[in-house]
Structures are given as structure tokens and as C-alpha cells.
A and B are shown apart, each in its own frame.
Chain A
Amino acid sequence: MILPKIKVLLSHGKQNIPDLNKVELSEEFRGRPELTITDSTEELEAAAALCPTKAITTSPFTLDLGRCMFCGECALRAPQNIRFTTDYRLATTRREALVITPETRQVEFHAEDVDDKKSKLFRSSLKLRQVSAGGDASTEMELNATGNVNFDFGRYGVEFTASPRHADGVVITGPISANMAEPLQICYDAIAEPKLIIVCGTDACSGGLFANSKAVNREFLTRHKVDLWMPGAPTHPMTFIDGVMNYLGRKKR
């Protein structure tokens, strides 16, 4: 019946975000934290002790976004020292760049690390195969959302594909459960060269809450070089979009 469909269309109107470069997130969103050194370290010590993934070191004062679950509890314990901003531009090419210091004003994206061949080849069309290896479905849903009617990342030619044979890279979520270690390797091997590895979510970057679990097997990441690290619990669709756009050289941080 046509009338209910017209109603649905009229109610929704245009839903796409016109310019993905201008997106600002709600003020409650917890993105890149900013660190400040104070004379007293009492509060900071308390915050570091509470941190569920031990992401904070006090001397020197650093915070590892690759381990941060973005719960924001440290900022409540040590408001003088840690403040979460709404900056979602967290993706980078180096694991070390996720460790931020009081000097950090943005997560550095090291464009010099990007393989020219890959960024040229994939610039206008990048097809990715997603593998969840112990992910809790939240990062997976956010990756799905990058292709939805609002974000519509497909407009830049970046899409997820079913077969690794059609893919230019793999996006890994989850701490990499031991039971998924082999399927992940098989999937990666099935992708033709040259290929990308993107690790998405704090669980994938460091193991997160499961870093010390014996049910996790992260050998894959020691065997292969990661091209893009994307923290978040879960990674916001804009973090993913911004990271990939930077990698493809279509955006500068």
C-alpha cells in the first residue's frame, strides 16, 4: 500500500549527514582526554589505582588510549588532571601514538607510515572484511552504522564486503579469543596483497579487560603489522571514518 510509505518518507525527510568533516558529537561524549600535571598527585594516584585496565601511569603522567575503556571514572576522581574532550579523532598508524601525555593536543596521525601504494590503490575504493574475534557486538554495530543512512560512508567508496576474496583488508574487533585465532588467520590469508589490517576498539588494541585472560590469543598481531589502530569502547563510527579518511590521504588531521 502506497500511503503508509509516503507517510514514512515524509516523516523522515533527508537523514544523511551532509558533510562528514564537520561532525561534532554531543558534549557528553567521551573522546580524547586531556591531561594536566598538578603539584599534588594524590587524586591522580587514586584515579590510576581505580583504572580497570591500568591505562594510567603517574610518573611520567601518561594515559594509554589503547587500553582506555572510556568509562570516564578517572576524570571524576582527578578532575584537575584528566578531562575528556569530545574529540573523536583517535585513530593512528602507531600503537605508541595512542599513549598520550600532558603535551598531547591531538592524537598524532603519522602520514609518513602510510604505504603509498596502498593509499593510492584504495583511495577511491576500499572494501573491507570485518572479523569479530571476541567482540561484544557494540563495536560491530558501530561499524555497521558507518554504512547506514546517516553516516553513509559508502559515498566515499568505503564499504564492508562478505568475502575476503573481494576485500582489501581486514577490520578486527574484540580481544581475539583463542577459539577465533585460526579462523582470523584463514580469513586474512584469503585476502589478496596488498592488504590492510585495522584493529578497531580498545579490546582489539590491547585486549582491554581481557588482556590477561587465558581464553585470548593475540599472536596474530605479533605476526602481522597493523596499519591502523582505533581505540574506543566501542569505537564511534566517526572515529572509524576519520581514521580511514586520513589513511587514504583524503583528509589531514
Chain B
Amino acid sequence: MIYHITDNLSKAIPLADIPLVEYAALYHDLEQRLQDERYHVAHYFARLEEGQLRFYLILLDDKQHNILLSSHALDYYDEVTLPSLTALHPALHPFEREIAELFSVKFGSMPWLKPLRFSADRLNRNSTIDNYPFYHIEGESLHQVNVGPIHAGIIEPGAFRFICNGESVLHLEIALGYQHRGLEREFSNDSNRLRQTLLAENIAGDSAVSHASAFALAIEKLTDFTPSEALIIERHIAQELERMAMHIADTGALCMDVGYQLGQVACEALRTMTINTTQAWCGNRFGKGLIRPMGTNKPLNSAKIDMIRQNVAEIARRYEEVRQDIKTSPTLLARFEQCGNVGRAEMLRIGGVGMAARASNAPRDIRLSHPYGLFGKELQHESVIKRQGDVMARLMVRCREVLQSAEYIQQLLNLYSTATATQQPDYEAKLTPEALSLSLTEGWRGEICHVAITDKQGNIATYKVKDPSLHNWLALALAVRSEGISDFPICNKSFNLSYCGHDL
């Protein structure tokens, strides 16, 4: 057997249980397996272990709801060339690029061997972000447009290079890494668990709850802790509030970019209401301070439950009016429809995840395929799927998900009982030594995957984070092909990807 089979609810896996196989065996298995859309790779990374470079692969089986783990190794000084998996399945490009950047591993016939994020730990110090090797096309009728790294609005940095044929975009390349803070390394630099929790909250500020939840789950799997139902429900409510807030914000941003002020300001006000609900619960508009490993400092009480119930109902009511308005405004539809298309086959090929994938009829949704918490139990989740794969489809997925999340929050509040004893967070709990713990959650953008590997003393030796943006940036680049360059802003907003989540 070349895989160890587990699932999203199981405890951490002892490192000794993870099969160490020949690369050729894994390569041939993945070559076949990844042709079936039920499989996709959640993470693939390398780390140094006693003089060798060990590669860990985490494969998800959406149909059987299983997680398949495997690994292969290279002697650190081996100069072998590994045949590239990206050449067969482009979805693996960010993983192979990261491994090549950090360890100078050679991948044979890798079609897009470019630096991923110019990590502070990269081996080649001559490779710097200001000499990123942009793709180049010669031609009399072509011109290049460079945007960034600093963009026009108040937004994170990234360099976009368009190759245009007149007004229409022939090719877009996105160079990232400007936001790189050395985040993954900080997890193992200091064993202060509270500090690690705050790091998780700061992976991407707009997904603070989702990333902190993934961290908390990864830690809890390394202990014998079982969360109470109340704690599980609180985490769900916080995550659905975050989903609502960001989907509403992006609805407003899309309206702004087509000059529709009413939609913009209505959504601004609704987002304020949503994040102020989170603030009234936990003191922070982004839910920072709310999610803690093995407990909470901010349990719900009856006053807060009533406040959330009322606010969420009112937000849903008003947002539904905004949605009806958008759907019946021909000038908006003219901009949103048939713009920024990414087809289903293309989305699956590049490994797109989350709401962007669902808008292209690619059913990637961790809540359904690898349920956590109450999903698959008290919460019977149904994915919102659209077929068209255009800006409008992504907007409509957002709209439906806001209303769905509002519905879930009401259901969860009905299940919540204030009678349950509150669990306090525990920052001292001993972790299982020499084990691999992984957690998957569905943030508002999509699949979030955290992996923690502990050493002999039970400290975190390696922490790996995957934000859905890692996959979906390529989807944006493909969406704008053959669109007018003036449609780039709405294509961009329809994805709203994270720069810091990618750059780490």
C-alpha cells in the first residue's frame, strides 16, 4: 500500500505510519489517479529530516471522504532529477515550485519552473523579486501593461503583467511574494502556543476565523482533547459570520467597480453590520481573539445569542433585497455576465477550489467532501453550484452562500445550549511527538489546509499552511484571457484572492 488512509476527523498520524515509497511508484499512481476528478492534492511539501529531504503528499478523495498520505525521500546531496507531476497535472505547480525554490530540487520537464514567493529561506539568493522572469511574447501588434506591485486602491501588493493585443488581454502573469513575512517558520521558532494561535489569525486577516480554526483543529488532533458541542457550534457560527461578511464586502466591491453606487454603499453598510456583530461578540471586527485551541475566552451568552440572531436575520433580509436589485438591473448584468469565464474542465485541471470552483460547476467543498464539526451531522450542507463560470456566477454563488450561512447560523443557535460548561483555552497541552496532524476547513474562499509535524519533544518542527488562493490565482490569470483589459478589476474582485495567504 503506498498510502496511509485517514480522514478529516481522525487524530494525528505517527510519522512512522506514513509509507515511504519510491518516487516512481507515487508518480505513476498519481498520473493515473489524478485523472479522476474525485482526487486532488491538498498539499505536497518537503522538509529536511536527518540528512534527507522527505516529501509529504496529502491527497484528498472527495468521493470516499478519505485523506491519503504518502511520502518519498531524497538524499540531501542527491543530484537526481524528478520527473515533474506538474507536466501531467498543472494543479501541482505551486507545490513543485515551492519545493524547487526552497531546496533546489530539479523537476524534469516542469513547464513553469518559476519562483513562487521569493521566500527568505530560498537557496538561490540571486533570484530576487525585482528580476522575476516574466513570460514574454514578441509581436508588432502587442504591448505590455505592468500593474503593481502597489495597486491603485488600499489593497495588498502583487505584480501583474498583461500582454495585450489592442484592448484585449492575450496573457496575464501574476508575480507574488511581496507579502512574504516568513510566517511558516515563525510557528516553529517559538513554542508559545498563544503566539502560534495569533500567527494563524494573521495568515490572512480576512480569513482570521477560518485559519485559526484550522490551527486549533490541527493542535487538538495532537492531544486527547475532544471539543464540546458548544465550542464546535461557536466555531461554526464565527466562520459563517466571516463568510457572510466577506461575500457581502465583495458584492459591494463588484458594484463599486461597475460604478453602481447604491449596491456598493448598501453592501458597505451590511458588512459593517456583520463585522460589528462579530465585534460585539468577541471585541474584534475580524474575529481575532475568538478562536483558541482547546477552548474559548468568548463563550456565547443569551444576550449575545439574541443579538446575533436579530442582526443576522436583518442582514439576510436586506441583503436579499440587494440581490434582487442586482439580478434585475440590466446594466449590471451586461457587465457581469459572459465576463471572465473559466470553464469546468479548466478549473479542475488547474486545481481550483472553493467558491470560485463551485461557480464553474466544479464541486470542490470541504464542508461536503471532508466534513468537520457538525457538517455531515446536524448540519446537512448542500453546496451552491453554478454552471457558467463567469463573474456573474461567482457573484451568485456568493449571494446564495450569504443567505445559506445566515440560515446555518440560526440553526446553530437553536442547537446551542448555554448550559454546557465552558472550556478554557489550554496553551500548555503536550502534543503527540513525531506525528503529523492535518486539518481541512472551508473558508469563504475555499479549502484551507494546515499541517503540523512534531519532533521528538512534541514541539512543532514544521508547520505548513495552504490558503485556497495558492490554487486560485491561476484561475484569475485564465479568466481575463481575451477579455478587455478594462474588465480586469471586476474579474479580480469576483475572485478576491489573498496575497498574504499565498505569500505567507
Answer yes or no: A102 CB below 8 A from chain B CBs. no
Given A28-B281, A72-B289, also A11-B154 (CB < 8 A)? no
Give the one of B182, B199, B249 with max A CB within 10 A: B182
Give the one of B183, B280, B321 with max A CB within 10 A: B321
User: CB-nearest residue of chain B relative to A208?
Assistant: B202
CA distance A129 to B129 in the complex (A): 22
Are A9 and B269 touching (Cβ within 8 A)?
Answer: no
User: CB-nearest residue of chain A relative to B289?
Assistant: A71
Are A132 and B269 touching (Cβ within 8 A)?
Answer: no
- Report the minimum CB–CB distance from B28 to chain A (whole Å): 37
Are A177 and B276 touching (Cβ within 8 A)?
Answer: no
Are B204 and A1 touching (Cβ within 8 A)?
Answer: no
Answer yes or no: B284 CB below 8 A from chain A CBs. yes
Answer yes or no: B192 CB below 8 A from chain A CBs. yes
Are B157 and A132 touching (Cβ within 8 A)?
Answer: yes
| Across-interface contacts of B362 in A (CB, < 8 A) | none
User: CB-nearest residue of chain B relative to A28?
Assistant: B283
| Across-interface contacts of A73 in B (CB, < 8 A) | 194, 297
Given A141-B205, A142-B285, A213-B182, also A9-B280 (CB < 8 A)? no
Are A213 and B328 touching (Cβ within 8 A)?
Answer: no
Answer yes or no: B427 CB below 8 A from chain A CBs. yes
Interface string of A22-61 (1 = CB under 8 A from B): 0001101110000000000000000000101100000000
Query: Interface with B: A105-113, A179-187, A220-228, A241-249, which one?
Result: A179-187
CA distance A179 to B157 in the complex (A): 10
| Across-interface contacts of A7 in B (CB, < 8 A) | 321, 324-325
Cross-chain contact of B181 among A52, A72, A134 (Cβ < 8 A) = A134
Are A179 and B154 touching (Cβ within 8 A)?
Answer: no
Are B272 and A1 touching (Cβ within 8 A)?
Answer: no
Given A4-B321, A76-B297, A183-B150, also A136-B285 (CB < 8 A)? no
Give the one of B179, B185, B297 with max A CB within 10 A: B179
A-side interface residues, number (CB < 8 Å):
66
Given A7-B325, A137-B498, A234-B205, also A215-B283 (CB < 8 A)? no
B-side interface residues, number (CB < 8 Å):
68
User: CB-nearest residue of chain B relative to A84?
Assistant: B283
Interface string of B151-192 (1 = CB under 8 A from A): 011111100000000000000000001111111011001001
Are A177 and B180 touching (Cβ within 8 A)?
Answer: yes
User: CB-nearest residue of chain A relative to B504?
Assistant: A215
User: CB-nearest residue of chain A relative to B307?
Assistant: A26
Interface residues of A in 154-209 (CB under 8 A from B): 160, 162, 174-175, 177-180, 182-183, 187, 203, 208-209
- Report the minimum CB–CB distance from B504 to chain A (whole Å): 9
Answer yes or no: B4 CB below 8 A from chain A CBs. no
Answer yes or no: A239 CB below 8 A from chain B CBs. no
CA distance A178 to B181 in the complex (A): 8
- Report the minimum CB–CB distance from B154 to chain A (whole Å): 4
| Across-interface contacts of A138 in B (CB, < 8 A) | 205-206, 208, 286, 288
Are B283 and A30 touching (Cβ within 8 A)?
Answer: yes
- Report the minimum CB–CB distance from A241 to chain B (whole Å): 14
Are A160 and B321 touching (Cβ within 8 A)?
Answer: no
Are B120 and A11 touching (Cβ within 8 A)?
Answer: no
Cross-chain contact of A215 among B182, B280, B286, B324 (Cβ < 8 A) = B182
Are A137 and B268 touching (Cβ within 8 A)?
Answer: no
CA distance A148 to B265 in the complex (A): 7
- Report the minimum CB–CB distance from A47 to chain B (whole Å): 11
Give the one of A53, A71, A214 with max B CB within 10 A: A71
Are A178 and B120 touching (Cβ within 8 A)?
Answer: yes
- Report the minimum CB–CB distance from A43 to chain B (whole Å): 15
- Report the minimum CB–CB distance from A50 to chain B (whole Å): 6
| Across-interface contacts of B268 in A (CB, < 8 A) | 15, 145, 148-150
Can you list 17 A-B contacts (CB < 8 A)? A1-B329, A7-B321, A30-B283, A50-B192, A131-B150, A135-B156, A135-B500, A137-B500, A140-B156, A141-B206, A143-B154, A149-B269, A174-B179, A210-B183, A213-B186, A214-B182, A233-B288
